[in-house]
Each structure stands twice: as C-alpha cells, then as structure tokens.
C-alpha cells in the first residue's frame, strides 16, 4: 500500500478528487504531464485497492466519474499534510528551483 500511495501520480490523483467526483478528462487536466495510459493504470490501481470508486452512467456518450471512498478520504489527509510540508520547505531543498513546479499544487 505504501508503494501505491508514495507513487507521484497516485498521490496527485487522490488530491485531484478531494473536492468531489471528477471525470477522467478533468483529472487529466489537473495532473498536467500525465499520459492517458499512465492515468488509466493509476486510477485502476487506486480502485483495486479500495481508495476510489468508478461510477459508469449509462448515457450517450458514456459518462464515467471517479470519487474517493472513505478509505481514500482518510488517505488524503496525511498526503495533504505532506504536500503542505513540501510547499512550506521547498526553498530548503537542494535544487529547489527545479522542484518548484506549479503542478505540485494539485489538491491543495
């Protein structure tokens, strides 16, 4: 489970869902730089581990939304604390100019 949560895209995908259910395209927009293939694999792993739900709405075109489960919401709290710690201390990291990427603000 730690490997899953420590993964960059997993943590950012959970953060993207903190404010409520989202469609794939919205999540992908929030996670600039993630490929559709990687995001699909990430969302599947999060769903398999019970951190998110995938809901399919029978409409044309097909409408799919992802949302946090109770377990996923519980995981977001420590991940948000970690994101805030990174933001608060970014200038203390060697090479911090490279690390200060606006995409790190997902979910904050």
The whole-model pTM stands at 0.79
Query: Which CATH number among 3.20.20.140, 3.65.10.10, 1.10.10.10, 1.10.760.10 corresponds to the domain 2-93?
Result: 1.10.10.10
The pLDDT tens digits of the residues spanning 4-53 come to 888 889 999 999 999 999 999 999 999 989 999 999 999 999 999 999 99
pLDDT at 29: 96
Asked if 46 and 68 count as a contact pair (C-beta separation under 8 A), the reply is: no
Q: What is the mean pLDDT of the chain?
A: 88
Domain ranges of the chain: 2-93
Q: Which residue has the tokens 């946090």?
A: 68
CA-only gyration radius of the chain, Å: 14
Q: Evaluate if residue 105 carries a pLDDT over 70.
A: no
């Amino acid at each position: 489970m730690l490997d899953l949560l420590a993964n960059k895209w997993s943590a950012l995908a959970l953060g993207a869902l903190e404010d409520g259910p989202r469609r794939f395209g919205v999540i992908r927009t929030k996670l600039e730089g993630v490929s559709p293939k990687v995001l699909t694999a990430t969302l599947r792993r999060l769903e398999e581990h019970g951190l998110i739900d995938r809901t399919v709405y029978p409409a044309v075109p097909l409408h799919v939304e992802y949302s946090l489960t109770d377990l996923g919401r519980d995981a977001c709290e420590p991940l948000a604390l970690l994101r805030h710690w990174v933001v608060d201390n970014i200038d203390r990291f060697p090479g911090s100019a490279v690390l200060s990427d606006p995409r790190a603000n997902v979910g904050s």
